[in-house]
A and B are shown apart, each in its own frame.
Chain A
Amino acid sequence: MGEVGKREVRVDAFDKATGRTKYYEDLMPAEALYARIKHSTIAHGFVTAVDTAEAEQIDGVVKVITCFDVPDRPFPTAGHPWSMDPHHQDVADRLLLNRHVRYYGDDVAVVIAENEVAAMQGVRALKVTYEELPFVLDVQKAMEDGAPQLHEAYPRNILNHTSIRNGDYETAVKEPGLIKVEGWYDTPTVQHCHIENHGCFAYEENGRMTVVSSTQIPHIVRRVVGQALGRPWGDIRLIKPYIGGGFGNKQDALYEPLCAYCSTQVGGRCVRVDCSREETFVSNRVRHAIRSHIISWLRPDGTFAARKLECFSSQGAYASHGHGIVAKGMGAFPQQYPCPNVEGDAYTVFCNKPAAGAMRGYGIPQAMFANESHIDECAKAVGMDPLAFRRQNLMPVGFKDGFSQNENYFDSYNQCMDKGKAYMDYDRKIKKYAQETGPIRHGIGVATFWYNTAVYPISLETSSNRMQLNLDGTVTMQCGETEIGQGADTVYAQMTADVLGLKSYKDVHVVSCQDTDITPTGLGAYASRQTYVAGFSIRQTGDLLKEKILNYASELNRQAPYNMDIVDGNIVRIGDGRVLMSLSELAMTAQYNPVHSEHLTAESTYTIRNNAYSFGCTFAEVEVDIPMCHVKLLNIINVHDCGRLINPALAEAQVHGGMSMAIGYGLSEQLLFDEKTGKPLNNNLLDYKLSTIMDHPHLEAEFVENPEPTSAFGTKALGEPPACSGAPAIRNAIYNATGVAINENPINPHILFKRFTEEGLIQD
């Protein structure tokens, strides 16, 4: 009992520490054929011909499929719950292979071969002829009249445009004595860089299609494969084994539809698609690059009279998760720093770059880079300390959002900032660093973040669960919310143990692998929803199973069910605490009772109609070598209020990973494209600067635990929030150290040289 809240070792730690854990490629049937993809070498145009003759001659090549062979049956890929409202369904703009290629790296043809070498030689031997079209890489240029059009249905390439109009901005800005602060903020295209690339294999069995995939969302991918193949969804079986990270990239259907299609084209034989690292960078998904324009009108006392936001989100070639990302970012704007007069406009725009999809934070890291950078400039404009300015203007306790019904129940922002400030020794250091004038300077920056938990009420939130009492008194549990590395299975075991009164989380066997033939239907890992959402169905299903157990115990023990409880794996009479029997005795008796045999199991679905704010902050301390244009991160802390911690050790680990991603976002990561051709320039782990262990100081993770009142276990979002505030905190630390505002990330030496030169800190 009392497993929730303990620093337990992960349920999958042993297998992962011994190399036994099986990922999709470790389960590969020996007979699988290799499918390798021919990607376009132009940024925009039409394929006029694919000469397959030479490829087909290669020994080992089984079949070549080109964009002229595939069905004209568009399908969507985003890992969103299906919507019964046709207007809220994802954009179906994908084909298995494309004649109209829209980015450098688009899928043109596929070679299926008996071995990898033949498949790769086959791809190289294909001769593709194109009719080239002009292309556009910049999000705002793509909106101009006469810009190259990517999709006919979207004039000026605008996938979607939404607005916020609160109060009266135009009138409010006329108030006398206002100070105007205005800035443009640019965030880059980055990639998830899970260490296991996406891959999958597919084969037909008993007339149905089985796909084993490295995905976060097995049940959703099952639906997308069905749509892409034009087959009933029940024909598709999707299996998700352990995966080597996802971070949102695998919250899309990636190559599962193509892989399954390939299998159908070779008589249902097993076909594998394995992305290389280079393909993963370009032909999977990336994070949306977003350009934001913010104007704030401040009174001299540092309060907001009016604010305006425009955002331009670079969608790349295909809709994927589309407008949801920038819409979430814009949604944070009027909530994080409430102001009566707000105008917001968000545009999601196609351009000839890789398709952008979900990535840890889902629009919030971009929004926080813009907004929290801007807040520091606002504080400076009115002569306030950035912390004091935030305390004055951040969302107050009691704030309620009309749409989500989310309520700010606690003073999380201030409590988190208090912890960060104490850890950083903020006041003393800020005073000390203010005296520095030499080439080496130090600074501390702070940034907060706004987040919420799961996707209600924009989309469906549901969780299903199945529990079975085993004969030894342990419980087997299954759900559709997936383990993707974050530790979901372990916290499920802890929660289940507590609901059922088991002695240890080790008495719960979580079936980690999702198989859509067996696993209760669920939506998968995204939106920082796993612990919150699964918690409801764990609690409900656990209660159902407990009721069945106690009813059966009542038959055996002659005690009323309400006079009994399960404590440490025993049926106990509440009144005197007497142990009546163990769960194992009960399970054995129930199963082998010749008069009333019962297999004790429970299954249920819970529809979640709540959401929960999840807030926190980052403090970063930097040393800036001005002549060398070098930033050294000295110290960094994240403080989160994600409600009650189910497993503090796993929570800390989750925060470390997010901080690391934020450090890369702030200082080094960026996928670059050749302006002349649209070709990606650094789509490998050598040239794309992912942080190594040498690029990090100690990562401090702390928490404020205000139990979330809407939650089954008092918990709320922690998966994505740690990646949201690190980059702007680093940016603000550089601002504090040098006085130079840098409004684009990553803040690498190239940007620092440009900005320090412009501001006169570096002279020729």
Chain B
Amino acid sequence: MAKKQYQLVSCTINGKAVEQMVDVRASLTDLLRNDFRLTSVKKGCEVGECGACNVLIDGECFNSCLYLAVWAEGKHITTLEGLMGPNGELSDIQQAFMDETAIQCGFCIPGFIMTAVEILNRNRYYTDEELRKLLSGHLCRCTGYENIFKAVKKTMLRRLGRLDDPFLTT
């Protein structure tokens, strides 16, 4: 049997610089879950179909199951655990998911929130159709996406200062 190959990876995870020896075959999901116990990174398919494992890599959202751990070299990675403020403050999008009843079993939620963060951080207005397209890389069986859409759209409107938009009262 071929000898296992390991490689040292240096990267930043949730704001902290780390070094880790990784199996060159391991995915970023494996690295985050197994080596750093960041269990918000969920495994729903492990082939990039469901979006439950999404994390931000240098501000851009990726399926961490399709991203080799060794590719993380020099990258800044953010998981859902990294969204919370230093004193346990929730981000606006996390609060919106709670307030809009966008969470049921919760398994798809970490990935969904990370994609929402990527979208919201662009600080621009998206139409409903654009927003739906941007969120369509995630599968959810509990919510019908209805309240997830509401949470993301309302947060977008608030961040853009469109506080008189009638959607905010739905």
Contacts and interface: CB of A to CB of B under 8 A. Distances in A.
Given A195-B42, A685-B139, 20 more contacts: A13-B103, A14-B90, A26-B39, A58-B1, A194-B141, A195-B105, A245-B105, A247-B141, A485-B104, A485-B105, A485-B107, A659-B144, A660-B141, A660-B144, A684-B45, A684-B47, A690-B139, A693-B148, A696-B145, A696-B146
A13 B113 CA distance: 13
B105 A243 contact: yes
Interface residues of A, number: 57
Contacts of A23: 42, 107
B79 interface: yes
Contact of B136 (A242, A484, A692): A692
Interface in A3-19: 7, 9-10, 12-19
Contacts of A21: 106
Interface string A715-733: 0000000000000000000
A703 B10 CA distance: 55
Interface of A: 7, 9-10, 12-23, 25-26, 58-59, 117, 192-197, 242-245, 247, 276-277, 484-487, 649-650, 652-653, 656-661, 684-686, 690, 692-694, 696, 698-699
Nearest to A9: B98
Contact of A485 (B45, B95, B106, B113): B106
Nearest to A117: B25
Given A10-B101, A194-B105, A18 B84 contact: yes
Contacts of B157: none
Contacts of A485: 104-107, 142
B144 A10 contact: no
Contacts of A649: 101
Contact of A696 (B44, B98, B141, B144): B144
Interface of B: 1, 25, 38-40, 42-47, 49-50, 52, 79-81, 83-84, 90, 94-95, 97-99, 101, 103-110, 113, 132-133, 135-136, 138-149
A657 B142 contact: yes
Contact of A196 (B79, B95, B105, B135): B105
Given A277-B49, A485-B104, A692-B136, A14 B98 contact: yes
A484 B142 CA distance: 10
A16 B90 CA distance: 12
A653 B132 contact: no
Contacts of B136: 692-694
Nearest to A685: B49
A693 B46 CA distance: 20
A693 B149 contact: yes
Contact of A242 (B106, B133, B139, B147): B106
B161 to A, nearest CB: 24
Contacts of A658: 144
B46 A13 contact: no
Contacts of A653: 101, 104, 142-143, 146-147
A193 B49 contact: no
